[in-house]
Structure 1
Amino acid sequence: MDSNESRLRYLMDRCLSKQETLAERNELYSYFLETKEDDNLSEELLNAFYKEKEIVDVAPEKQEQILSAIKSLESPRPSVTPMYWKWTSIAAVFIAVLVSIFWKVTQEEVTSKIKFVAKKEIVNDSLTEPYPKVISDHTPAKDVAILELADGQKFELEKLKLRESIENKGVIIERSGEDTLRVYAASNNSRFTKQIHTIKTPRGGTFKIVLNDGTIVHLNSDSKLSFPAVFDTNERRVSFEGEAYFDVARDSSRQFVVSSHIGFKNQEIRVYGTAFNLSAYPDDENIKTTLVEGSVKIKELLAGSEVLLKPSELAVLDENGLAMGIANLEMDLAWRNNLFYFENVPFEAVLRQIGRWYDVDIVYENEFQTNPLWGQMSRRKKLSEVLEILEKTSQLKFEIRGKEVRVMK
């Protein structure tokens, strides 16, 4: 290793640990202004991030940005050329290292004018904010849901006090936890037990329900679960639309059946006791079932095809039929860990998730093409913070206007 490489590595380590002096920071900037240092710079940036180091002294929001950059480098991207991926990697790491400066510039400047931006920041460190003025903002999804009983009566569940229960025509509704509902029959009168009730989470809402058999269903935003107060003696059947994590109580004598019908896509999941994630939104292109533990049998009802899943496998039902694959549990279960997590996800699909989570409508000002998105970020951020991050990873601009997010090239 020559002296220049050694010095560059030293400066990178100092910056990543937030121990650099002003002179060292300016010296590091100077490397980005010299084209002859490109090869050394790219190598040292990647080496610095693969090197194990403590980041506990970095502010939480900076940790998340750095970890997102690292995550984006872990998996191969077969769809891009080596040269493109090389510079994409360098740009991602560069943004994370110099986050306090470069998160003030637009994506066009970051990707195509890195050297110019670095020089501009050294000369003038009081640049104005280029992002659109936030006319309004939106907070992350909250624990809100509506229970609609078979007779049409509706209850806003967030208004129920903790441990409060209500009896309505033989059905007991109890808020057993901050985000948890229990619904069960007050008696075995089949007049009430056979009735089908529905819990709905709006866009911008999540909730959890404990069914009569002990099965727990965690509902993501904009989801709907229909169920009886008491299950039949031969099977436990529910219908579902949206996204949810099912933790099915084991009952060897009665299968638990989840039916989902989206357009021409119609499937049933049959289990005795297991845990799986089901995504079946009407505006998505497919129904995806991700198995976490146990086993599930999935049947496509129109063609009659079936698959049996093992843990860490998934089934996707689209216009081509039912197919199996290896699941990406980290991505498919990210919403349960309050994360947005994307690996090669189309930008439009990313914005659909954001629209559901923050209860906003996505409005496209014009047509454009974008690259798929890689990375992760917290779902606990405000909408404006999430959009600000997306602006830095795309060539798009966002503007919040009431319940609309306008997307511009």
Structure 2
Amino acid sequence: MVIKGKPTMNKAELKTLFAKYNDGTATEEERALLEAWYLQYNEKEAYQLNGKSIKAAKAEIFRRLPGNQGQFFNIGIRLAAAAILIGILFTVTMLFFVNRNPGKASQLANDLPPGTNKAVLTLANGRHLNLSDATNGRLYQQQGIKIVKAQSGQVVFDYSGNQATAEQNTITTPNGGQWQIKLPDGSQVWLNAASSLTFPTSFSHGINRIVKLSGEGYFEVAKDAEHPFIVISGDQRVEVLGTHFNISSYADEPSIKTTLLEGRVKVSLLGNVTPMFLKPGEQSVANGHQLDVKPVDTEEALAWRNGYFQFDDETVSSIMRKLSRWYDVDVRYEGNISDEGLNGRVSRNKNISQVIKALEATQTVHFRLEGRRITVMK
């Protein structure tokens, strides 16, 4: 987590740090310093270090990845490359700056762990299945419907019945929870905290592939040219044949954001007769009856799915809404909090105290944590 100022290092210092980073001898603080420097500098401004810029190093990593023969990467390859390149950035890289700029100390009466994999599945007959407590294997079977919890934790739906109509199931994640599900047509969905997905027990026999999302979900839709996959979230409707995309539609957020990673989707709003078509790397933003499309950094939209928070010029209030959902905390404010945009990346697998320290390194805000209430102070 850093403010807009750039860490200052001369070329000799950068070359030394880069060499130690490559051979694995850099300390945690040295790695944090180099990575923070890279995040703050545009790649075009990167120095040539040991004959190879960081940008060139990233290109080389992409080139060496198996199966990478073209310009586009699937999400697995992109994540692998990011993990190889960034490495320690999945931890709190700004601890180095926290130690250098202690400032006003937080008031922490306790600490809170990050969210985990937990969800509840509500069947059409009203039965509730606590997925986090369930053992691996078959969870439920009736009338051709088989629900299995795989070793990976993913819940898989298999339908082999002959129902003329499909019943509706709902999977719900609480604050501090997330889950992955494989739908009857083979499509996969990852749900973020405080989210729910309602879907039919079967997509066969001419039944439309229509699901309803509240909160945030990442979709990898199985291709079916004859049956479009439709996601309804609030007043928004997203229609696809087979693609990868993310939808954020929390009730406490000012807009619904749909980000496309692969394929093509049609986004439309109730009361707006003109749909928008997204291309990979684009995001639609729905505000009321207004729908706009813009190019975006897809890694930011998928950060939660990949195990970290990424903030690009994001306000404190927006950041705290995300932390509230993931750490299941009630957020209060004291005084006039700056609306300055913050930038940075921090792991979702850290206790909230470490995230707080990273935020305080900006010298913008301070915190008081008591139980599950966190107060944001100037």
The verdict on how the C-alpha distance between 1:202 and 1:68 changes in structure 2, with shifts beyond 3 A counting, is farther
Distance, in Å, in 2 between the alignment partners of 1:149 and 1:97 is 45
Distance, in Å, in 2 between the alignment partners of 1:323 and 1:301 is 14
Query: Is 2:302 the partner of 1:340?
Result: no
Q: Is contact 1:334–1:340 with CA below 8 Å preserved after alignment?
A: yes
Structure 1 partner of 2:194: 222
Q: What do the CA deviations read for 1:370-392 (whole angstroms, capped 9, x no partner)?
A: 31111111111110110111111
Q: Is contact 2:272–2:289 with CA below 8 Å preserved after alignment?
A: no
Q: 1:182 aligns with which of 135, 146, 156?
A: 156
Distance, in Å, in 1 between the alignment partners of 2:216 and 2:121 is 17
Distance, in Å, in 2 between the alignment partners of 1:212 and 1:281 is 25
Distance, in Å, in 1 between the alignment partners of 2:241 and 2:346 is 35
Q: 1:237 aligns with which of 201, 210, 219?
A: 210
Match of 1:381, SS state, is coil
Match of 2:132, SS state, is helix
TM-score between both structures, scaled by the size of structure 2: 0.78
Query: Is 2:130 the partner of 1:156?
Result: yes
Query: Is 2:264 the partner of 1:295?
Result: yes
Structure 2 partner of 1:352: 321
Q: Structure with the greater relative contact order (CA < 8 A, sep ≥ 6): 1 or 2?
A: 2
Q: 2:39 aligns with which of 71, 74, 88?
A: 71
Q: 1:361 aligns with which of 320, 324, 330?
A: 330
Match of 2:304, SS state, is helix
The verdict on how the C-alpha distance between 1:391 and 1:210 changes in structure 2, with shifts beyond 3 A counting, is same
Query: Is 2:314 the partner of 1:314?
Result: no
Match of 1:337, SS state, is coil
Q: Is contact 2:98–2:361 with CA below 8 Å preserved after alignment?
A: no
Specify every segment of 5 or more residues in structure 1 that has no aligned partner in the other structure, as ranges: 1-40, 77-94, 108-129
Q: 1:211 aligns with which of 183, 187, 191?
A: 183
Q: What do the CA deviations read for 1:340-399 (whole angstroms, capped 9, x no partner)?
A: 111111111011111111111111123322311111111111101101111111332112
Match of 1:288, SS state, is strand
Q: 1:398 aligns with which of 364, 367, 371?
A: 367
Deviation at 1:70, TM superposition (A): 2.4
Distance, in Å, in 2 between the alignment partners of 1:353 and 1:48 is 36
Q: Give the share of equivalent positions with the same residue, in percent.
A: 31
Deviation at 1:64, TM superposition (A): 4.3
Q: 1:271 aligns with which of 233, 240, 244?
A: 240
The verdict on how the C-alpha distance between 1:179 and 1:96 changes in structure 2, with shifts beyond 3 A counting, is closer
Match of 1:67, SS state, is helix
Q: Is contact 1:293–1:311 with CA below 8 Å preserved after alignment?
A: yes
Distance, in Å, in 2 between the alignment partners of 1:364 and 1:214 is 44
Distance, in Å, in 2 between the alignment partners of 1:257 and 1:328 is 24
Structure 2 partner of 1:194: 166
Distance, in Å, in 2 between the alignment partners of 1:368 and 1:97 is 23
Deviation at 1:169, TM superposition (A): 6.4
**Aligned ranges for residues 20-31 of structure 1 at < 5 Å?**
none
Match of 2:218, SS state, is strand
Match of 2:41, SS state, is helix
The verdict on how the C-alpha distance between 1:62 and 1:364 changes in structure 2, with shifts beyond 3 A counting, is farther
Structure 1 partner of 2:103: 106
Match of 2:305, SS state, is helix
Specify every segment of 5 or more residues in structure 2 that has no aligned partner in the other structure, as ranges: 1-5, 45-92
Structure 1 partner of 2:106: 131
**Aligned ranges for residues 111-126 of structure 1 at < 5 Å?**
none
What is the number of equivalent residue pairs in this alignment? 321
Deviation at 1:305, TM superposition (A): 2.2
Q: What do the CA deviations read for 1:3-53 (whole angstroms, capped 9, x no partner)?
A: xxxxxxxxxxxxxxxxxxxxxxxxxxxxxxxxxxxxxx9864588458844
Q: Is contact 1:305–1:322 with CA below 8 Å preserved after alignment?
A: no
Deviation at 1:235, TM superposition (A): 2.4
Q: 1:250 aligns with which of 219, 223, 231?
A: 223
Question: What's the C-alpha RMSD, in Å, of the aligned pairs?
Answer: 2.6
Distance, in Å, in 2 between the alignment partners of 1:167 and 1:287 is 36
Structure with greater helix percent = 1
Q: Which amino acid aligns with 1:74?
A: N
TM-score between both structures, scaled by the size of structure 1: 0.72
Distance, in Å, in 2 between the alignment partners of 1:162 and 1:96 is 38
The verdict on how the C-alpha distance between 1:42 and 1:394 changes in structure 2, with shifts beyond 3 A counting, is closer
Q: Is contact 1:370–1:395 with CA below 8 Å preserved after alignment?
A: no
Higher CA-based Rg: 1
Deviation at 1:186, TM superposition (A): 5.7
Q: Which amino acid aligns with 1:222?
A: A
Q: Which amino acid aligns with 2:26?
A: V
